[in-house]
Amino acid sequence: MSQKYAFPVEQIRRYLEPGPVVLLSALHRGKRNIMTLGWHTIMEFSPSLVGCMISAGNHSFSMIRESGECVINLPTVELADRVAKIGNCSGKERDKFADFSLTEAASQKVDAPAIDECYAHFECRLYDDVLIEKYNFFIFEVVHARVQREPQWPETLHYSGAGLFRTDGVVIDRHKLFTKVS
């Protein structure tokens, strides 16, 4: 067995981040914003529920809390520089769509805009707010989804902390080993 070493618990996100980095877009009282988010998780399949931890210090926190909606946009590796820059500035005093040359796309079921350059858009409404006050944890229902046809498996970004991103690796097919029908 290989030797392990003690690791700082505040840095375990390097190994446990749940999924790809996303861009949350919001609209409230005529103002739009985009934030970078890496803390989210699938909670249920039907209804389609997604949990997101949005720090109360983020400008988008109050926008999303008050409007009760957002769009989860899935960027690919081509947007890595913009994703990093968006995550390191506030939308309180600036228009991130304009500043980062991103195209606003109309959503189908929510007022918040989608980001056209992203691979997919998941339009969300606040489903349950019971964990917001204590943990800044929003539970959203995805009410409409749009995904590009190609490529089937986009190269997404995964944040490891300290400005380091990883990308998706090789797809490993073990479909024949699954006995449960999904």
> Residue 18 has what pLDDT?
61
- Please provide the distance, in angstroms rounded to a whole number, between the alpha carbons at the two ends of the chain: 35
> Residue 13 has what pLDDT?
67
CB 176 within 8 A of CB 149: no
Banded model confidence at residue 181, pLDDT cuts 50, 70, 90: low
Mean pLDDT across the chain: 92
| Tokens linked to 125 | 């409404």
> Residue 175 has what pLDDT?
82
State the pTM of this model: 0.91
On the question of pLDDT at 79 being above 60, the answer is yes
In the predicted model, what is the mean pLDDT of residues 47-54? 95
Domain 18-177 class, CATH top level: mainly beta
> Residue 4 has what pLDDT?
78
Domain limits, the chain: 18-177
> Before 47, cis peptide (omega within 30)?
yes
> Residue 3 has what pLDDT?
87
Contacts of 49 (CB under 8 A, 6+ apart): 42, 43, 127, 139, 140, 141, 142
On the question of pLDDT at 65 being above 80, the answer is yes
More confident residue, 94 or 180: 94
Other beta carbons less than 10 A from residue 87's beta carbon: 17
Helices (H), the chain: 13-16, 59-67, 80-86, 96-99, 132-135
